Structure 1
Amino acid sequence: MPVAVGSRIAFTARFLGRRLAYTYEVTAYEPGRRLVMQTSSGPFPMETTYTWEPYGEHGDHTRMTLRNRGEPRGFASLAAPAMAVAMRRAQSKDLARLKALLERNT
């Protein structure tokens, strides 16, 4: 099924030793340029934005930018500063793994 505004995507992750399950809804989609998804369920509702843009001398590379925004609830709100650091660390590891996979397949 192709991605479109209104599509729902099940997502699971491990974070701070816990398994988290979310359902994201696509709120904006411009193929090859921008994807925005958000969820209101889980311990900290989030909005995730991916953008892609050409770069390099001939525009022959692609730069992807990933931005997560959210407001923790309940216990998570007490630990927000530590969680922000842990999220950045987890995101960096995920992106490094994705980069390695993409470069291996080219």
Structure 2
Amino acid sequence: MTIDETAQRVIPLPPEQVAAYAMDWRHDHEWTQGIRTAELTREADGGGFGVGAEVTRTAYFLGKRIDYVLRVARHDPPGLLDMVSVAGPMPMHVTYSFTPDAGGTLARIRVRGDAGGYYRLAAPLMARKVRSSLGKDLRDLEHRLTPAP
């Protein structure tokens, strides 16, 4: 079963500020549901983080530990970060986009994947959980970046 879920939220800050934080893998565990650790395990061809870089994440989903590696396919800050899984329990494609909006930045996360094996049975539950998690991710991103009133 294919999963294709998207969430979006307007964050009252400029895209450059939102993207700088959200595209930095060192912050993944601070605002992304379930991620416990993230590590840059391969640098981009030119060094650092960019196209070709790989980030290894450890997450917990439906009570199960999941280790997966995302490779940066496209890195165009502050507008787009596109990553594909190269190791993990299922093929996955994660896209972050940040576009100017009258209220600040329209932040959008899209996750596509193919739930096979163990996850095939849980695919309908996974789709709902992914949708819910993405919404929480964007809420947490906003809370991290904006001061409390």
* Cα deviation 1:40-79 (Å, max 9, x = unaligned): 422222100011111107xxx1111110000012021122
Gaps of 5+ in 1: none
**Alignment-derived partner of residue 42 in structure 1:** 88
**Alignment-derived partner of residue 39 in structure 2:** none
Q: Does 1:62 align with 2:62?
A: no
CA-based RMSD of the aligned residues comes to: 1.8
Counterpart residue type for residue 129 of structure 2: A
Paired residue for 2:76, among 15, 30, 33?
A: 30
Which whole-Å CA distance do the structure 1 matches of 2:125 and 2:110 have between them?
A: 18
Counterpart residue type for residue 57 of structure 2: F
Bigger RCO of structures 1 and 2 (CA < 8 A, at least 6 apart): 2
Q: Does 1:103 align with 2:142?
A: no
TM-score by length of 2: 0.62
* Cα deviation 1:9-66 (Å, max 9, x = unaligned): 1112221112211111000111211110010422222100011111107xxx111111
Q: Does 1:21 align with 2:64?
A: no
**Alignment-derived partner of residue 92 in structure 1:** 135
Runs of 4+ aligned residues of structure 1 deviating over 6 Å after TM superposition are: none
Gaps of 5+ in 2: 1-46
Residues 54 and 72 in structure 2, CA contact (< 8 A), matched pair in contact too: yes
